[in-house]
Amino acid sequence: MRRRHVSSAAGFALAAALATLFSTAGVEGQSWRTVTQSRQVSNERSLDVNVSYAVGQFRVRPAASGVLYRLELRYDEDTFEPVNDYRKGRLRVGIDGGDGKIRVGKGDSAGNLDLDLAVDVPMDLNLEFGAVKADLDLGGLALTDLHMVTGASETFLDVSRPNPVSLGTAKIAVGAAQFHARSLGNLNAERIDVDAGVGDITLDFTGDWQRDAEVNVDLGVGALELRVPEGLGLRLKKDSFLTTLDPQGLVKRGDYYYSTDWDEADRQVDIDVDAALAKVSVVWVR
């Protein structure tokens, strides 16, 4: 069994999220501001994007052609400092807590960040967020690197269109969260690493597979659903403690479970699951 680990970034995000839960009471007055900014593509050959967002609603979408980025950030100026810095192909966006404490209001008054990103420029994308409801569509982005860290969040990730460039390793660290990803085949990644602590995880491998790939999933406690399109060759290895597996449509050979069309499939995906106390299921989709 591979030794499990929890990334320090994921731990930090989770700690920030938990701190939020203990500091939401007693907030009476808030002063809200909205910042909107956009920039057109000029001569950028690449874009390095870093987003850090602690609490609220978070949305990412592909921008219209010719737009480098567009953002709209709504925040409580009595508590947070906005982060919005672009210099020579490097974009940093988010909020910083002014006094080291994260406080939110009631209901939907936790602020929001909407970010549209270029589809025309090769991009390294780093996303880190805590107690956030995140709706992310990375479809069509030219991703050369992807690193995502979530805290106590509810995250929906969709890769609605294929990535036009090759992505080496997509790294996703999930805290105590719900995480649902769709059309991961469109990432055009050689490898996908998912490191999850406690949560409900769905990984949907539909999409346009342009290469064979390797997927590694480390899961502590929770449920993992693997949604696999018919025709994609699947080889699954489960290295686990007190974990159940529903190997629907798979045949066991030695230490691996194979799809019946593994040898003939045009594209093959190796999935290695390392789990502690979890339920793992395979669902075949058309």
**pLDDT tens by residue, 134-180:** 999 999 999 999 999 998 889 999 999 999 999 999 999 999 889 99
Q: Give the E-state strand segments of 103-166 in sequence order.
A: 112-117, 123-137, 143-150, 154-158
pTM of the model: 0.86
Residue 225 lies in a domain: no
Residue 239 lies in a domain: no
Q: How many domains does the chain have?
A: 1
Residue 31 lies in a domain: yes
Residues 6+ apart with CB under 8 A from 99: 79
Q: Given a cut of 50, is residue 106 above it in pLDDT?
A: no
Expressed as residue numbers, the domain containing 187 is 8-211
Query: For the residues 92-97, what does the mean pLDDT come to?
Result: 84
Residues 6+ apart with CB under 8 A from 254: none
Residue 119 lies in a domain: yes
pLDDT of the residue at 97? 60
pLDDT of the residue at 81? 86
Residue 118 lies in a domain: yes
pLDDT per position as a tens digit, 223-233:
999 999 999 99
Please say whether the beta carbons of 263 and 270 come within 8 A: no
CA quadruple 45, 42, 140, 273: dihedral positive or negative? positive
Cross-strand partners of 125: 49, 146
Residue 160 lies in a domain: yes
Amino acid at 251: V
pLDDT of the residue at 102? 38
pLDDT band at 277 (very low <50, low <70, confident <90, very high): confident
Residue 258 lies in a domain: no
Q: Given a cut of 90, is residue 11 above it in pLDDT?
A: no
Residue 55 lies in a domain: yes
